[in-house]
């Protein structure tokens, strides 16, 4: 007598059946790119973040941001992403400053018209805050680009119950849930910082076990802070 398999093969969904509703995004942490965000007290990048996070924009840039306040949330994201990407020219920190990972404030970056990937993200953070987006809905996210095998930084914004990705590589603002190529390592917003982990799926067994919360494995931080760390695009 054969035992019935513990897990039955998946069957095609009936025609006309609506796809399952996805869970609402967390309101107090950046669970982005399939990760679980874990609040931590400090990180080796805190000093850089504290130096640039309070940055304000002024002049015509502030006027541009103020003019976006009445627009729908995603329209504001698209306008700022496009504005910064067109205004700045990418220059690697090592070429510009002679060393890697020099974070500059939004005003300095926009005034010079030059920046590395984290400078784009910092400028977008400041503009969106000036455009009326709450700071707690904005995150500077340091990621590992799994395709280019390099370090990167992007801005992620919460709007319309989604996390949206604002990247210096494209003018399109995309749903962060659709991005599979980025592995987040650290996120910053205001005075808070998070590292990121991933839920480990439990092994399947024939005998059903009581449901337990899946453990979370945190991302390694070593690649960010080693001597070879550099945001490359």
- The yes-or-no verdict on residue 163 having pLDDT over 90 is yes
Per the structure, the count of domains in the chain is 1
Q: Is residue 136 part of a domain?
A: yes
CATH number at residue 151: 3.10.620.30
> Long-range contacts for 62-67 (Cβ within 8 Å, ≥24 apart)?
62/130, 64/127, 65/127, 65/128, 65/130, 65/131, 66/130, 66/131
Find the mean pLDDT for residues 138-149: 95
**Amino acid 214: pLDDT:** 55
**Amino acid 101: pLDDT:** 83
**Amino acid 19: pLDDT:** 44
Q: Is residue 15 part of a domain?
A: no
Each residue of 76-93: pLDDT tens digit? 999 999 999 999 999 988
Kindly give, in sequence order, each residue whose CB lies less than 8 Å from that of residue 183, ignoring residues fewer than 6 positions away: 33, 35, 143, 144, 146, 196, 219
Q: Is residue 18 part of a domain?
A: no
Which structural domain range is residue 178 located in?
36-202+213-225
User: In the beta sheet, which residues pair with residue 27?
Assistant: none
Q: Is residue 14 part of a domain?
A: no
**Amino acid 231: pLDDT:** 54
Each residue of 45-69: pLDDT tens digit? 999 999 999 888 999 999 999 999 9
The structure's pTM equals: 0.79
Helix (H) or strand (E) holding 94: helix 93-97
Report residue 142's pLDDT band, with 50, 70 and 90 as the boundaries.
very high
Q: Is residue 5 part of a domain?
A: no
Report residue 14's pLDDT band, with 50, 70 and 90 as the boundaries.
very low
Each residue of 93-130: pLDDT tens digit? 888 998 888 999 999 999 999 999 999 999 999 999 99
**Amino acid 167: pLDDT:** 98
User: In the beta sheet, which residues pair with residue 199?
Assistant: 216
**Amino acid 209: pLDDT:** 53
Q: Is residue 31 part of a domain?
A: no
**Amino acid 27: pLDDT:** 82
**Amino acid 223: pLDDT:** 43
Distance CA 98, CA 121 (A): 21
For the ranges 17-21, 108-112, 146-150, 180-184, the lowest mean pLDDT is seen at 17-21
**Amino acid 229: pLDDT:** 45
- The yes-or-no verdict on residue 6 having pLDDT over 90 is no
Q: Is residue 45 part of a domain?
A: yes
**Amino acid 215: pLDDT:** 54
- Residue of 226 and 130 predicted with greater confidence: 130
Q: Is residue 112 part of a domain?
A: yes
The mean pLDDT value of the chain amounts to 84
């Amino acid at each position: 007598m054969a035992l019935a398999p513990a897990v039955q093969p998946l069957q095609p969904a009936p025609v006309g059946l609506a796809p399952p509703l996805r869970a609402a995004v967390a309101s107090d942490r950046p669970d982005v790119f399939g990760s679980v965000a874990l609040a931590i007290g400090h990180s080796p990048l805190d000093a850089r973040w504290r130096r640039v996070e309070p940055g304000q924009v002024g002049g015509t840039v502030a006027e541009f941001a103020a003019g976006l306040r009445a627009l729908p949330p995603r329209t504001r994201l698209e306008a700022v992403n496009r504005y910064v990407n067109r205004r700045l020219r990418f220059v690697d920190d090592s070429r510009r400053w002679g060393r890697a990972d020099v974070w500059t404030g939004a005003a300095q970056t926009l005034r010079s018209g030059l920046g590395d990937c984290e400078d784009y993200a910092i400028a977008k953070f400041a503009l969106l805050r000036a455009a009326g987006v709450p700071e707690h809905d904005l995150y500077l996210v340091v990621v590992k680009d799994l395709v280019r095998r390099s370090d990167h930084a992007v801005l992620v914004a919460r709007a319309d119950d989604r996390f949206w990705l604002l990247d210096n590589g494209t003018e399109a603002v995309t749903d962060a849930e659709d991005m599979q190529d980025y592995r987040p390592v650290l996120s910053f917003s205001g005075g808070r910082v998070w590292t990121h982990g991933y839920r480990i799926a439990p092994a399947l067994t024939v005998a059903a076990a009581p449901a337990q919360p899946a453990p979370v494995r945190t991302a390694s931080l070593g690649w960010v802070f080693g001597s070879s760390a550099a945001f490359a695009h």
